[in-house]
């Protein structure tokens, strides 16, 4: 009998947990009438939850990406992994708190306790699922989860 791969087992378990959390939050949350836009024949635009990750030296690129993709109806979680010094995570959080729109809409957060991430291993998946779970705790009023790296840059706007 062959033993199961621990990485596959961990990934499957975390994925199942994420889906259960999402289903629970979806069934218990109520959307506000303001979220519906009657001007569009296609219905309201989707609400996105962005998990933006980076490593040492990526804080400025993460902020550039955030400025580019930012929209008040979306949620954002920024994560600098353990390869980045604590001072960089602190500076990133201060930079986020210095933007009035981010503070007013309270939809941009920075992970305080960083995860160790090996881009080639299962820790990247675990970090992404942890980010999705944290975003669900901040609020389940989003339709799609988007995982981005600091090196990502959009080709078109969301609108």
Q: Per-residue pLDDT tens for 24-49? A: 554 444 444 344 445 678 888 899 99
**CA atoms of 156 and 159, how far apart (whole Å):** 8
**CA atoms of 126 and 15, how far apart (whole Å):** 9
Q: Which residue has the higher pLDDT, 21 or 52?
A: 52
Q: Per-residue pLDDT tens for 52-77? A: 999 999 999 999 999 999 999 999 99
Residues 129-142 have a mean pLDDT of: 96
Q: Are strands 108-110 and 75-80 parallel, antiparallel or unpaired?
A: parallel
**CA atoms of 84 and 54, how far apart (whole Å):** 8
Task: Annotate 29-68 with b (16+ C-beta within 10 A) or e (fewer).
Answer: eeeeeeeeeeeeeeeeeebbbbbbbbbeebbebbbebbee
The predicted pLDDT at position 41 comes to 85
């Amino acid at each position: 009998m062959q033993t199961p791969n621990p990485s596959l087992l961990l990934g499957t378990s975390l994925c199942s947990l994420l889906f259960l959390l999402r289903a629970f939050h979806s069934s218990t949350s109520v959307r506000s009438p303001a979220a519906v836009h009657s001007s569009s024949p296609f219905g309201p635009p989707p609400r996105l939850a962005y998990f933006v990750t980076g490593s040492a030296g990526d804080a400025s690129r993460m902020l550039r990406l955030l400025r580019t993709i930012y929209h008040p109806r979306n949620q954002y979680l920024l994560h600098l992994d353990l390869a980045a010094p604590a001072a960089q995570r602190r500076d990133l959080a201060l930079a986020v708190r210095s933007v009035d729109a981010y503070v007013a809409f309270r939809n941009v957060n920075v992970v305080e306790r960083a995860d160790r991430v090996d881009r080639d291993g299962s820790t990247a998946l675990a970090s992404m699922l942890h980010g999705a779970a944290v975003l669900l705790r901040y609020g389940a009023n989003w339709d799609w989860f988007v995982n981005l790296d600091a090196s990502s840059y959009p080709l078109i706007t969301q609108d």
